[in-house]
Structure 1
């Protein structure tokens, strides 16, 4: 079988973060959108940042209400060693562009919430194995209504990728970025493309992520730097053909508050980091697109705003295809500020409407990127 990724996330380190209680005798369900279809499906489960093996007691994949149990090398259960990952065996299950793929995992033993990403998943409110249950016993969560609040797509623990077989992808585009990427414009971009385009648009964003520096010790979930994780999260993606570099402004905004002030880059240093990623992508034969840095609120100061604008000027004149996320979201009255109608509330992250605008901007770039 020839496997193509239809959905991904970048796994990061939640050890030391008080995000979720540990699992024990609990079932988790993750529901993710498919960007391309196929007639077989499999999932990659990662224990990259676990300190102990993770025991999967039972798993299943569902599409459109049809559930099939999964095996691991023919076995119903598996133990994923710390630092490693496991693929499920393929199941014959039709997946279409835009379908929601559900992945259930029963975790029978005490298991820390260590290797994860995303914002939403379900954990069963009753103990025991309820894998594949049509009435999953969990509290419902959902996206904020259209046009208001934060865009919080599904993700969750262990699930690094979902792949399909039976479709030859025309392109596999990996989007490397931070929280604004994680919040879903890659999935929304994929949804805008016609099914016949056979283009996988994959999310490898991590909230708090930077290009030049790994996460500060107080916030390990902000992940390894873009330069550090490029090989794993871009080159390590099956069939990757293109990369979008959309890291936004954490390199500029975090130092002095959540990270040492000495890690604040000059514009030249930040541009050099982008160039390194571009060079590595080009050396691997990948097409490259960039995204400008969105407004970061004038409260950060004029010096940092000058860095942001200088980097954006370079992106616009670099000769690479780019999506002008800055132009899409900025206020006409104050270009340093995000327009109020697209602001999720903190003046740095777009709401659902803003994420959809970014998706529209990227969808316009993709045909040029594929020429």
Structure 2
């Protein structure tokens, strides 16, 4: 019988917040606890935590608003609080999911107390910076991220393409930890005729769906142009555009796409019903480290169109269970979407294969692999970062 671990997990975001990172960390944390491990989550206090206090499984820290992400908090440095807690109850290993001041203070404390650290590369902040008017900082941010992650025993990345890119940029000791999907929740059987009717979609119409944050980094201009291209290329088809999600671009997109139905943010079974009630899923983003929504759409039996990177590259075989385009090739993206509608058999076959593939991508194996990586860090020499500048 293997020994249970005491794991500290540090993150700026965590359920019930709604984003891909929070969803992944929630799944990993729940999976580790189900395996008998003791997991202490360290995160900033959020608005939903009013009146809540820290306990053995949760350490709340101070934070401040994260620009462009209303409702989220950027964690402040918590060196003294972490040192006090970890000297009293020392973790076996620390997992740092975010690289801000909170993550940096956790890294410093771990080095001081000689606790092994595994880090995760969950968000392409160096790419996002350009979309929010901080393009000049992108190179500096990449240097900081490389320095940060190279001070951990191991850095986990969600896709093979991400690992190749980071290796090219000088990141070291990278390992792949993919993502899973709850294929019982996201299932074609949840398709709802009444929901489709509320969208104004009849039985003979195809619903073109998009799920995600409505923000500049998501390349949503291509979503609108691709939908219009489908309408022009297939005038015999009746198409309806449905957008699930919220974000800073929602108001302007509602003005640009008056024909679209905007559903706002949806969660749990309601979200799964929205997926299953669509037909075609367009995902034009170029900034994802993974893209959980791709797997959710596949599990829901949708015809997914995406760029050949991250989750799509890992899980979609073009023409078999989805349609792919070379990253940045907008014409190729439009052609991939159009191919699905050229023949009813194309879409029918792809949707069946999508569901079949995703049904085998559960979280249990991912959690087991995560546990193995955490255990491996216990046996990694502490001297691996020797020769690098001290982190405190």
TM-score calculated relative to the size of structure 2: 0.32
Return the structure number with greater helix share.
2
Point out the structure with max Rg over C-alpha: 2
TM-score calculated relative to the size of structure 1: 0.34
Q: Give the number of the structure with larger relative contact order, counting CA–CA contacts within 8 Å between residues 6 or more apart.
A: 1
